[in-house]
Amino acid sequence: MIDTSPNTSHDDPIDVLIVGAGFAGMYMLHRCRQHGLSAHVVEAATDVGGTWYWNRYPGARCDVESLEYSYSFDADLEQEWRWTERYASQPEILSYAQHVAERFDLKRDITFGTRVTAARFDETTSTWQVATHADGTGSEDGGGPEGAASLEARFVVMATGCLSSTNKPDFEGMDDFAGEIYHTGEWPHEGVDFSGKRVGVIGTGSSGIQAIPLIAAECDELTVFQRTPNYSLPAHNGPLDPAWEAWVKTNYPSFRQANREQQAAFGSHVPRNERSALEYSEEERQQIYEERWQAGGFAMTRSFGDLGSDEEANQTAQSFVADKIAELVDDADTAALLTPDQLFACKRMCVDTDYFATYNQDHVHLVDVRSTPIETFTPTGLRVGDTSYDFDIVVLATGYDAMTGSLLRVDFEGRSGQRLTEAWSAGPVTYLGLTVPGFPNLFTVTGPGSPSVLTNMIMAIEQHVEWISDCIVYLTANGLATIEASAQEATAWVGHVNRVAEATLFTTCNSWYLGVNIPGKPRVYMPLMGFPDYVRRCDEVAADGYRTFALA
């Protein structure tokens, strides 16, 4: 265990300070060790797992298939781990993370229960001075000391996750509510007992859509407050097909490679039909949609090549889903309210098990809070317009300050005292989604400006971790103390990310990709579409000796 008591000595900085012990931080630590770099991880939670540590709400599971949503860096690990379902549940993914931590003996270099609060780049020593605060929960392994401490490191790698800063809307009267309030992303470890309870759920994104059917199965009365109806495709989850598992495990290297060549880094076995939806007759189109709806998961999003670029083509997918909802939901008014009115796949698609049919149960109610927003919490529940609702438990499935939230919650001070919050006041400015001008030796795993949330994220994480560690090895081998993105390259990069997004229809709706779910956040499309092109750009920069950066 590293000594996190104040360490202001400049004699012995660690090479790499990693913030976060999710899949990104764990692999970063392992990779640093493989390269002989000294590394340490600071993690706010009391264990590894990141997303899968925090999101213990009922129904939490992956919507990328389990044989794909897993590390590829170690062939033995790939072979030995057994997934039980097509889409892994949160407990199974958390067990996998714990297995990885144990297998590679990671925890001895992780301080748990400790948050990085600030980091300042010291231009005289070319090191980061990092302030931490142990929140008092400590570690399940006897970990982090309480109180503040500082660390010194040559490089800081932010493995803090894209969906790790919860968004809790500031509803009036929340503190006066006498019942319990839980955010899906900070779910109690002991679980929540919904039996016999009146429950309100606010939010119908992926988290809400997964949790609602299971909460409904347990509680007495469930009221769902929906602002925007969402597209959700059936998962058709089930036990993992042993023949498919055997095939993938026999062909893992080529299977992974085929996925790396996909735009979203997964789903090579569900090829995208590149032809236009408008080239087909109505009957043919319906048949293609139907087959892909039945295949489950994201298959339908790959039905035609122009769903993301042609409104008329997109409209055909919208109509197909609307018809499905009308079939699945008995009450016509409820079905209409559940039917999305934005472009198909413009907001992050959801994948569900029995979501729409849940509204056929008498004790499940849907309230539209777009036409009349939630006005206030009351001591006994919520008020929407003139109507009051009484609850024992309210679940906030209200999402995240995505992509930039966890980065901006650390008080970063770069060159010449520049703050990250100022540098990003008009939106995140990165080069390759990996580095920030004015903040030397700082790396972001799956940062804004990289494909990140538009991909199978473990694959994106692996690519970033490998790029970052190779870069640090290169600098070290060449006696270089700093690497820094130029403002010019970063401006050009942000322009590139925007141009790629603007060539699609997907900048037009109020998605969290654009930051619009957070009041006051600049409206900027943050992730970069297209994994394979992106990887090629990163590889070219590395192969060229990182010459597009300032090296010193």
CA 350 to chain centre: 13
The answer to the question of residue 22 lying near ligand NAP (CB under 6 A) is no
User: Smaller CB distance to ligand FAD: residue 50 or 203?
Assistant: 50
The β-bridge partners of 389 are 382
Tell the smallest beta-carbon distance from residue 138 to ligand NAP (Å). Answer: 28
For residue 462, give the 3-state DSSP assignment.
Answer: helix
Tell the smallest beta-carbon distance from residue 114 to ligand FAD (Å). Answer: 7
For residue 71, give the 3-state DSSP assignment.
Answer: coil
**Nearest CA to 215 among 202, 231, 229?**
202
Tell the smallest beta-carbon distance from residue 159 to ligand FAD (Å). Answer: 5
What b/e string do you get for 308-340 counting C-beta neighbours within 10 Å, with b at 16 or more? bebeebbebbbebbbebbeebbeeeebbebbbb
Tell the smallest beta-carbon distance from residue 455 to ligand NAP (Å). Answer: 11
For residue 15, give the 3-state DSSP assignment.
Answer: strand
SS3 labels along 401-414: CCCCHHHHCCEEEC
User: Smaller CB distance to ligand NAP: residue 266 or 431?
Assistant: 266
Interface with ligand NAP (CB under 6 A), residue total 27
How far apart are alpha carbons 521 and 514 in whole angstroms?
Answer: 9
The answer to the question of residue 206 lying near ligand NAP (CB under 6 A) is yes
**Candidates 95-103, 152-160, 207-215, 540-548; binding stretch for ligand NAP (CB under 6 A):** 207-215
Binding mask 313-352 for ligand NAP (x = CB under 6 A): -----------------------------------x--x-
How far apart are alpha carbons 392 and 401 in whole angstroms?
Answer: 27
How far is it between the farthest Cα atoms of the chain? 72
Identify whether the C-beta of residue 282 lies closer than 8 Å to the C-beta of residue 251. no
User: Smaller CB distance to ligand NAP: residue 139 or 226?
Assistant: 226
How far apart are alpha carbons 512 and 527 in whole angstroms?
Answer: 10
Tell the smallest beta-carbon distance from residue 96 to ligand NAP (Å). Answer: 15
**Nearest CA to 394 among 164, 216, 224, 213?**
224
**Contacting positions for ligand FAD (CB under 6 A):** 19-25, 42-45, 50-51, 53, 55, 60, 62-64, 69, 115-116, 159-164, 185, 207, 406, 410, 445-446, 456-457, 461
* Tally of residues, the chain: 552
Name residue, tokens 């109507």. Answer: 387
Among ligand FAD, ligand NAP, none, what binds residue 512 when CB lies within 5 to 8 Å by partner kind? ligand NAP
The answer to the question of residue 54 lying near ligand NAP (CB under 6 A) is no
Tell the smallest beta-carbon distance from residue 202 to ligand FAD (Å). Answer: 16
The answer to the question of residue 163 lying near ligand NAP (CB under 6 A) is yes
Using a CB cutoff of 8 Å and minimum separation of 24, what contacts does 249-252 make?
Answer: 249/78, 249/79, 252/72, 252/75, 252/78, 252/79
DSSP state of 435: B
Phi first, then psi, for residue 147 (nearest 5°) are 95, -175
The β-bridge partners of 439 are 436
User: Smaller CB distance to ligand NAP: residue 208 or 449?
Assistant: 208
DSSP state of 442: E
Stretch 251-280 residues interacting with ligand NAP (CB under 6 A)? none
The binder of ligand NAP chosen from 89, 111, 164, 228 (CB under 6 A): 228
Binding mask 428-467 for ligand NAP (x = CB under 6 A): -------------------------x--------------
Among ligand NAP, ligand FAD, none, what binds residue 303 when CB lies within 5 to 8 Å by partner kind? none
How far apart are alpha carbons 372 and 225 in whole angstroms?
Answer: 11
How far apart are alpha carbons 552 and 550 in whole angstroms?
Answer: 7
User: Smaller CB distance to ligand FAD: residue 24 or 494?
Assistant: 24
Among ligand NAP, ligand FAD, none, what binds residue 205 when CB lies within 5 to 8 Å by partner kind? ligand NAP
Among ligand NAP, ligand FAD, none, what binds residue 164 when CB lies within 5 to 8 Å by partner kind? ligand FAD
Among ligand FAD, ligand NAP, none, what binds residue 2 when CB lies within 5 to 8 Å by partner kind? none
The binder of ligand NAP chosen from 2, 369, 395, 458 (CB under 6 A): 369
User: Smaller CB distance to ligand FAD: residue 87 or 177?
Assistant: 87
User: Smaller CB distance to ligand FAD: residue 2 or 42?
Assistant: 42
Phi first, then psi, for residue 148 (nearest 5°) are -90, 150
Identify whether the C-beta of residue 521 lies closer than 8 Å to the C-beta of residue 512. no
**Candidates 93-101, 201-209, 216-224, 294-302; binding stretch for ligand NAP (CB under 6 A):** 201-209
SS3 labels along 322-339: HHHHHHHCCCHHHHHHHC
The answer to the question of residue 405 lying near ligand NAP (CB under 6 A) is no
Tell the smallest beta-carbon distance from residue 3 to ligand FAD (Å). Answer: 18
The binder of ligand NAP chosen from 7, 66, 114, 210 (CB under 6 A): 210
**Nearest CA to 155 among 19, 30, 275?**
19
Among ligand NAP, ligand FAD, none, what binds residue 461 when CB lies within 5 to 8 Å by partner kind? ligand FAD
Among ligand FAD, ligand NAP, none, what binds residue 160 when CB lies within 5 to 8 Å by partner kind? ligand FAD
Q: Which residue has its beta carbon closest to ligand NAP?
A: 205
* Beta strand extents in 286-417 (DSSP E only): 350-352, 364-368, 374-378, 381-384, 387-390, 393-396, 411-413
Relative to beta strand 147-158, strand 127-134 is antiparallel
Tell the smallest beta-carbon distance from residue 476 to ligand NAP (Å). Answer: 35
Among ligand NAP, ligand FAD, none, what binds residue 20 when CB lies within 5 to 8 Å by partner kind? ligand FAD
Tell the smallest beta-carbon distance from residue 310 to ligand NAP (Å). Answer: 24
Binding site for ligand NAP (CB under 6 A): 62-63, 163, 169, 184, 202-208, 210, 225, 227-228, 348, 351, 369, 374, 397-400, 453, 512, 517
